[in-house]
Amino acid sequence: MNMRTVFGATIATVLLPLAVAAQDWRGWNIHPEGYPNSAALDQFVAEVNATTDLNLQIFHGGVLGSQPDAIEQVRNNALEFGQFNMGPMGPIIPTTNVLSLPFIFSGVDHMHKAMDGDVGEIFAAAMEPEGIVPLAWYDAGSRSFYNSKRPIMTPADVEGLKLRVMNNDLFVDMVAQLGGNATPMAFAEVYQSLKTGVIDGAENNYPSYESTGHFEVAGFYSVTDHLIIPECLCVSSAAWNNLDDATKDAVRAAAQNSAQTQRQLWAEREEESLSKVEAAGAKVNEVENKVAFQEKMAPVYENFLASNPDMASVIEAIQAAN
Ligand code: GTR
């Protein structure tokens, strides 16, 4: 062993306990400042910093990387917290895929009822051993398709469209059942891909359709409401297990307060975003026969249950919560 290694090892041994004692937490968020989720996270950070010894910092705008990468980083405790959609969580924690099944919730109220009650506990129990503790559930409204080619009125209108989806094979299957071609892609790449015609469209809620500027380059938004996917305010299990009980209570309370704020801001932002995209010339159309889309999703459920037979009871628990 040369002196350098000895010196390096000595420094590491001395610094490690100090780093743990400092309890600085870094958090990931994909959305820009001012978005409902970002404002709610700012509130969470301020409340935790005021009521505990922790020192939280949140990084907005996805500057700490893509969502699938950030989920891994929180699992590995390279980041201590993040605000995640359950869509990209599915490939990592299979139980959470149930939340990404098309039309699994009849509406946002159903989703709230399920996630705030016993059903939420099913997902928390599946996530914690995988390195992620969900502390509160945020709203992400419902997702619908948008594209640059034509309004979608019936499933046949999706045929041949190249659509970006979040990173999860379930969404690839979902689009395939409608005759479209799905491309999983990071959120940050979608605008440019729409602009250059690499893809024809994507799917999201009004606030994200608006905040990303996707409405500028994909002006037909068709209200299919095919996905209602909750999002979590999540902490790494390692960081969480390091806390004493009083701090855990304070952090959880702050997370739940932030979720209440997020849901209020969300409802307001949905309306604002819809007005903004329509004023800018986007054409938003209602879809009269949503059941036609729902019926096309039967094979998605069959395929999912064929490879995850134990998920039938979770689907039933969600249905029972309605
Ligand atoms: C948004 C969601 C983000 C991200 C994004 C996407 O609605 O809030 O977390 O999942 O959609 O489509 O990638």
C-alpha 282/C-alpha 205 separation (Å) is 14
Starting at the edge strand found earlier in the chain, the sheet holding 201-204 runs 181-184, 162-165, 201-204, 143-147, 220-227, 283-286
The per-residue pLDDT for range 37-93, each reduced to its tens digit, is 999 999 999 999 999 999 999 999 999 999 999 999 999 999 999 999 999 999 999
Q: Are 123 and 152 in a shared domain?
A: no
Residues 248 and 267 in one domain: yes
Q: Could you tell which of 84, 166, 231 is best to mutate to test the pocket of ligand 1, judged by most ligand atoms within 8 Å of the CB?
A: 166
Residues 56 and 82 in one domain: yes
Tens-level pLDDT at each residue, the chain (322 residues): 344 444 444 444 555 544 445 599 999 999 999 999 999 999 999 999 999 999 999 999 999 999 999 999 999 999 999 999 999 999 999 999 999 999 999 999 999 999 999 999 999 999 999 999 999 999 999 999 999 999 999 999 999 999 999 999 999 999 999 999 999 999 999 999 999 999 999 999 999 999 999 999 999 999 999 999 999 999 999 999 999 999 999 999 999 999 999 999 999 999 999 999 999 999 999 999 999 999 999 999 999 999 999 999 999 999 999 9
- In this structure, the answer to whether residues 33 and 180 fall within a common structural domain is no
Same structural domain, 189 and 78: no
Q: C-alpha angle 239/244/245, rounded to 5°?
A: 115
Assign residue 309 the CATH number of its domain: 3.40.190.170
Write down the H helix ranges in the chain.
3-22, 36-51, 67-75, 108-116, 118-127, 169-177, 190-195, 206-211, 214-217, 237-241, 245-279, 290-296, 298-307, 312-320
Q: Answer whether 179's CB lies under 8 Å from 155's CB.
A: yes
CA of 305 to the centre of ligand 1 (A): 25
In angstroms, the CA 124 to CA 146 distance is: 32
Round to whole Å and give the CA distance between 314 and 318.
6
Local structure of 115: helix, strand or coil: helix
Full DSSP string of 262-303? HHHHHHHHHHHHHHHHHHTT-EEEE-S-HHHHHHHTHHHHHH
Do residues 73 and 132 lie in contact, with contact meaning Cβ atoms separated by under 8 Å? Answer: no
- Residues with a CB atom less than 6 Å from ligand 1: 30, 67, 85, 87, 140, 166, 187, 204-205, 208, 231
Do both 85 and 118 map to the same domain? yes
With 0.75 as the threshold, say if the pTM is over it: yes
Statement to judge: residues 307 and 165 lie in one domain: yes
Other CB atoms within a 10 A radius of the CB of residue 292 amount to: 15
Residues 207 and 236 in one domain: no
Contacts of 97 (CB under 8 A, 6+ apart): 90, 168, 170, 304, 308, 311
Least Cα distance to 144 among 194, 102, 83 occurs for 102
- Which residue reads 């990468």 in tokens? 69
Number of compact structural domains in the chain:
2
Q: Residue 185: give the domain boundaries.
A: 143-228+272-320
Residue nearest to atom 5 of ligand 1 (CA): 187
How far, in Å, CA of 31 to CA of 63, rounded? 10
Query: Of ligand 1's atoms, which has the minimum distance to the CA of residue 202?
Result: 12
Q: Are residues 69 and 187 in the same domain?
A: no
